[in-house]
Amino acid sequence: MKASQYIQLAIANNRQVTVPEINIEKMHIQYVIDESGFDLPRDQLEAYMLSVYAATGLSWSPGENLLYLALNDEGQIETKLTYIGGLDLALQSGEIQAYQAWAIREGDSIRVFNDRMPLVSLVGLSPKRGELRGGIASALLPSGEYVSFEIDQIELESVAENGSEVWQSIYVDEMVKKQALWRLLNHVAITAFDGFYNTLTAHCEALRPIRKIEAPTKKTKFMAAGVVETSACRFDALFD
């Protein structure tokens, strides 16, 4: 596709992109393709990823970390949102006004309210301050109401057992917050998520490379911009 076609695709989805912006996005996409290891025709994959950018307005920039490439059960490539991308969509759509997440450890105290964010008192900032007990994420809705969703210790242990080595590192608290935020998004950002994936189907599906390929990682994992994470971090793995 020519740059003018991507510009028209953006306009069709009430967005605006320029030729310089498309060229910058191409550089991001080339980096992601190089790091992903997917054995697909490069020009086809680039055209598909550019169409996703033009139609949704979300960048493939590794620095922004909004999207990732995944393989479905049939070995076909597909686009997925990271939790940061999900939060970005939820804020853009107005489904949430603000959000915050915490990892809860032994000794921490927490009080949940309907009219403000939870009051969380941590006994310290070190990830070694006490045994991990769970996580909680809260958001302010357009109605002015605050909602909170929790991830308990048993759920986290299950995710960690099937997860990457990050769960055994000093960054485990950040992974806990991430899981709690996914739980939150799955309940309050449904319209934004539906809109995103419907846009992909309507405007990008025709460009998606379709053929059988071997996954570069185990079936329970996906690769995004060279970073391997567990499928439990995907939004569709946490629906109740």
If one counts every other C-beta atom within 10 angstroms of the C-beta of residue 78, the result is 16
pLDDT tens-digit map of 198-229: 999 999 999 999 865 454 544 433 434 433 33
pLDDT tens-digit map of 147-168: 999 998 888 888 887 767 777 7
Q: How sure is the predictor about 106, in pLDDT bands with cuts at 50, 70 and 90?
A: confident
123-158 b/e with 16+ CB inside 10 Å = b?
Answer: eeeebeeeebbbbbbbbbeeeeebbbbbbeeebbee
Number of H helices, E strands in the chain: 7, 9
83-115 b/e with 16+ CB inside 10 Å = b?
Answer: bebbbbbbbeeebbeebbbbbbbeebebeeeee
pLDDT tens-digit map of 111-130: 888 788 888 888 777 767 78
104 φψ region: left (φ > 0), alpha (ψ -120 to 50), beta (else): beta
Residue with tokens 């055209």: 47
- Determine which helix (DSSP H) or strand (DSSP E) holds 29, and give its type and residue range: helix 19-36
Mean pLDDT of 17-35: 95
pLDDT of residue 215: 47
Distance CA 162, CA 146 (A): 32
pTM above 0.85, yes or no: no
Distance CA 31, CA 25 (A): 10
